[in-house]
Amino acid sequence: MNDLLRPAASLFVLLSALTGIAYPMVLTGIAQALFPDAASGSVLFRNGTPVGSRLIGQNFSSPEYFWGRPSASAPQPYNGTASGGSNQGPLNPALVEAVTTHISALKVADPDNPQAIPVDLVTASASGLDPHISPAAARYQARRVARARDLSMERLTAIIEAHTEDRQWGVFGEPRVNVLKLNLALDAEHQRP
């Protein structure tokens, strides 16, 4: 019996050390060397203080900030540990109610806005954590944000354009605006003398 247990225990300890300690450390070291920003969580800083990740949406609700897509994560929005979509189909009454609620909130926040509400402002992404909105969604909110921050529409439009990211590698996806980066730029603009 001892002849079987000793090699099994030795192999267990060796493989645990290799796959549980050495391999993750080597991969982390390689990732930190090749992609330091991504390997560290793509954290954004303001005045040396971390304020969020450019990969995970934030919950903005004040009128002076651009709002992101609704989050499907629970129990609080943009909960990275509960990533996932709602899996509600177009005929699901819960989805219809959620979309109606989001439309009402947008209309209350900017009742005189004549533009059609972009779909990404009323529906969650597949992960429920999407940090981006479409340029149309940013333009839809621009009047409200400009009014709340006492900024000209021309200046705000320029800030939106400066923070609009093109398709990945010029091919994949659609142009998009990172909401956290845009709001940080607005805060920096607001602090200028």
- In the prediction, which pLDDT does 39 show? 82
Q: Which runs of E-coded beta strand occur in the chain? A: 43-46, 49-53, 132-133, 164-165, 176-178
Q: Are residues 85 and 177 in the same domain?
A: yes
- In the prediction, which pLDDT does 157 show? 95
- In the prediction, which pLDDT does 192 show? 54
Q: Are residues 32 and 52 in the same domain?
A: no
Q: Are residues 85 and 162 in the same domain?
A: yes
Range of the domain at 11: 1-39
As a whole number, the mean pLDDT across the chain is: 88
- pTM (2 decimals)? 0.80
Q: What is the pLDDT along the chain (193 residues), one digit of tens a residue?
A: 778 888 889 999 999 999 999 999 999 999 999 998 888 888 888 888 888 888 888 889 899 999 999 887 777 777 777 777 777 788 889 888 988 999 999 999 999 999 999 999 998 887 878 899 999 999 999 999 999 999 999 999 999 999 999 998 888 989 999 999 999 999 988 775 4
Q: Are residues 97 and 11 in the same domain?
A: no
Q: Are residues 76 and 171 in the same domain?
A: yes
CA dihedral 75, 107, 161, 182 (to 10 degrees): -30
Question: What percent helix, strand, coil does the chain show, rounded to 5?
Answer: 50, 10, 40
- In the prediction, which pLDDT does 90 show? 83
> Is 180 in contact with 133 (CB distance < 8 Å)?
no
Q: Are residues 30 and 94 in the same domain?
A: no
- The residue assigned the tokens 């021309």 is 154
Q: Phi, psi (5° rounding) for residue 67?
A: -100, 145
Q: pLDDT tens for residues 54-76?
A: 888 888 989 999 999 988 777 77
- In the prediction, which pLDDT does 185 show? 93
β-strand partners of 45: 50
Q: Are residues 110 and 126 in the same domain?
A: yes
Q: Are residues 49 and 19 in the same domain?
A: no
Q: Are residues 69 and 34 in the same domain?
A: no
Q: Are residues 23 and 71 in the same domain?
A: no
Q: Are residues 51 and 6 in the same domain?
A: no
Q: How many domains does the chain have?
A: 2
Q: Are residues 27 and 54 in the same domain?
A: no
